[in-house]
Amino acid sequence: EDQVTQSPEALRLQEGESSSLNCSYTVSGLRGLFWYRQDPGKGPEFLFTLYSAGEEKEKERLKATLTKKESFLHITAPKPEDSATYLCAVQERLAGFQKLVFGTGTRLLVSP
Amino acid sequence: DAGITQSPRYKITETGRQVTLMCHQTWSHSYMFWYRQDLGHGLRLIYYSAAADITDKGEVPDGYVVSRSKTENFPLTLESATRSQTSVYFCASSGQRGSYEQYFGPGTRLTVT
């Protein structure tokens, strides 16, 4: 069964203090790995899709990387507005439909 | 404004009552999904639809019914609500098969008393 594990569960940073969030996964064949941002009381907002090991995607202060077993979301010089829960999801290659398996997320709090 | 909308945003209902959550998207996406989000479980798929009149079960379908008569609408019905169905429900949609990212609505917070 597909499994997605995110760590840490919660992370507290000072503004400007860079760090990384981890998403480890076990699937029989990865079709894609997705990162989402979720603000309190809102739906998840799509950030990145990564398809193969070695791939990287960047958006402002965020950079997502992918290996064969895990993905990292690097946050460089974060600002308070980066505070949110970050969700990781994987899609298995053999899935007959667009099934995403989500992790439980990392709650990020950036203090000024 | 284009996008995906859900209604109502908040709903309180009693055990045993039927309740329908609405989802509407303006992108003409083929795929639509219903998830529930609970602490400690993350997002879990309830039902999905690949096109109008094509629906199938997800991970946690028991107690729920869906229909999709039009591409843009995907209502979720709780036939006889139970307290265990208290949750936040998200609708999502996805476009062509080559584009797998899903776009989520704002959610409906449902409380069953």
Amino acid code (one letter) for B86: T
Burial of A83 (0-12, 13-18, 19+ CB in 10 A): middle
> Are A32 and B100 in contact (CB < 8 Å)?
yes
**Residue-level pLDDT at B108:** 98
Percent of chain B with pLDDT over 90: 76
Give yes or no for residue A56 having a pLDDT over 80: yes
State how far the Cα of A56 lies from the Cα of A89, in Å rounded to an integer. Answer: 16
Residues in A touching B94 (Cβ below 8 Å): 98
* Side-chain-side CA neighbours of residue B101 (13 Å): 14
DSSP structure class, residue B113: -
CB-based contact A1:A85 (threshold 8 Å): no
Which residues fall within 8 angstroms of residue B62, CB to CB, at 6 or more apart? none
User: Best residue in B41, B101, B103 to probe A by mutation, most A CBs within 10 Å?
Assistant: B101
Percent of chain A with pLDDT over 70: 93
Give the CA-trace dihedral at A59, A60, A62, A68, to 10 degrees: 30
CB-based contact A35:A55 (threshold 8 Å): no
Q: Taking residues A27-37, what's their average pLDDT?
A: 89
Alpha carbon of B5: minimum distance to chain A alpha carbons (Å): 10
> In this structure, what token pair is assigned to residue A97?
């439909």
Instruction: Render pLDDT for B48-94 as a digit per residue (tens, 0 to 9).
Output: 998 889 999 988 999 999 999 999 999 999 999 999 999 999 999 99
Residue B1 binned pLDDT confidence (cut-offs 50, 70, 90): low
Amino acid code (one letter) for B79: E
Nearest chain B residue (CA) to A105: B42
**Residue-level pLDDT at B7:** 97
> Are A104 and B100 in contact (CB < 8 Å)?
no
CB-based contact A38:A45 (threshold 8 Å): yes
